[in-house]
Amino acid sequence: MSDDDPYLWLEEVSGDAALAWVADRNAETAEALAADPGFTPLKERLREGLDASDRIPYTVRRGAHLYNFWRDAEHVRGVWRRTALEQYRKDEPEWEVLLDVDALAAEEDEKWVWGGASVLRPGHDRALVELSRDGADAAVVREFDLSTREFVEDGFRVPEAKTQIDWIDADTVFVGTDTGPGSLTHSGYPRTVRRWRRGTPLEEAATVFEAEAGDVSAWGYHDDTPGFERDFVGRSLDFFRGETYLLEPDGTLVRIDVPDDASAYAHRRHLIVTPRSAWLGQPSGSLLAFDFDAFLAGDRSFEALFVPDERTALAGHSWTRHHLILETMRDVGTRIEVLTPTDEGPWRREPLVGVPPLSAVGVVDTDPDVSDEYFLDVSGFLQPSTLHRGSVGGDAEVLKQAPDRFDTTGLSVAQHFATSRDGTRVPYFVIGPDHSATGPGPTLLYGYGGFEVSLTPSYDAVRGRAWLERGGTHVIANIRGGGEYGPAWHQAALRAERPRAFEDFAAVAEDLVARGITTPDRLGAVGGSNGGLLMGAMLTRYPELFGAIVAQVPLLDMTRFHKLLAGASWTAEYGDPDDEADLPHLRDLSPYHRIEADRTYPPVLLTTSTRDDRVHPGHARKTAARLRELGHPVLFHENTGGGHAGAGDNEQAAHNSALLHAFLWRNLTKADGPESGVTASPSAAPGAPSGTGSQHRAGPSGPGSGGRAYGG
Write the CATH number for 597. 3.40.50.1820
Residue of 183, 217, 286, 529 marked active site? 529
- Beta pairing partners, 398: 388
Name 208's Cβ contacts closer than 8 Å, sequence gap at least 6. 174, 193, 194, 195, 220, 233, 247, 251
In this structure, what DSSP letter does residue 31 have? I
Distance CA 200, CA 192 (A): 18
Contact 327, 338 (CB under 8 A): no
CB atoms within 10 A of CB 361: 24
Residue 128 pLDDT: 98
Strands 230-236 and 217-223: antiparallel
Distance CA 362, CA 318 (A): 10
Strands 359-366 and 348-351: unpaired
Rg of the chain over Cα atoms, rounded to whole angstroms, equals 25
Q: How many CA atoms lie within 13 A of 599 on its CB side?
A: 14
- Is residue 529 among the annotated active site residues? yes
Residue 648 within a domain: yes
Residue 270 within a domain: no
Distance CA 596, CA 554 (A): 19
Residue 711 pLDDT: 32
- For helices 530-541 and 499-514, give the axis angle rounded to 10 degrees: 70
Contact 664, 604 (CB under 8 A): no
* Total domain count, the chain: 1
Dihedral over alpha carbons 345, 346, 350, 356 (to 10 degrees): 180
Distance CA 130, CA 139 (A): 6
Contact 511, 685 (CB under 8 A): no
Contact 513, 523 (CB under 8 A): yes
Residue 203 within a domain: no
Helix (H) or strand (E) holding 438: helix 435-438
Burial category of 343 from C-beta neighbours within 10 Å (exposed 0-12, middle 13-18, buried 19 and up):
exposed
For residue 400, which phi and psi values (nearest 5 degrees)? -140, 145
Residue 412 pLDDT: 97
Identify each DSSP E strand in 307-382 by its residue range.
Answer: 312-319, 324-330, 333-340, 348-351, 359-366, 373-380
Residue 173 within a domain: no
Closest CA to 312 of 346, 341, 335, 340: 335
DSSP 66-128: EEEEE--SS-SS-EEEEE-HHHHTSSS---EEEEEHHHHHHHHTS-EEEEEEEE-TTT--EEE
Dihedral over alpha carbons 510, 511, 512, 517 (to 10 degrees): 120
Contact 261, 277 (CB under 8 A): yes
- The rounded Cα 234 to chain-centroid distance in angstroms is 23
Residue of 222, 474, 644, 655 marked active site? 644
Whole-number Cα distances in Å, 608 to 128, 165, 168, 551 = 30, 29, 38, 9
Contact 245, 235 (CB under 8 A): no
Strands 604-609 and 634-639: parallel
Name 402's Cβ contacts closer than 8 Å, sequence gap at least 6. 54, 55, 56, 384, 385, 386, 459
Contact 536, 554 (CB under 8 A): yes
Report the chain (712 residues): mean pLDDT per 10 consecutive residues.
80 97 98 95 96 96 97 96 98 98 98 97 97 95 98 97 98 97 96 98 97 97 96 97 97 98 98 98 98 98 97 97 96 94 91 65 94 95 95 92 96 98 98 94 98 95 97 98 97 98 98 98 98 98 98 97 95 97 97 97 98 96 98 96 86 96 96 44 32 37 46 34
Distance CA 554, CA 13 (A): 15
Residue 137 within a domain: no
> Domain range holding 661?
411-672
Residue 274 within a domain: no
Residue 700 pLDDT: 52
Strands 548-552 and 523-528: parallel
DSSP 220-268: EEEE--TT--EEEEEEESSSS-EEEEEE-TTS-EEE--S-TTSEEEEET
Residue 73 within a domain: no
- Beta pairing partners, 127: 119, 144
Residue 43 within a domain: no
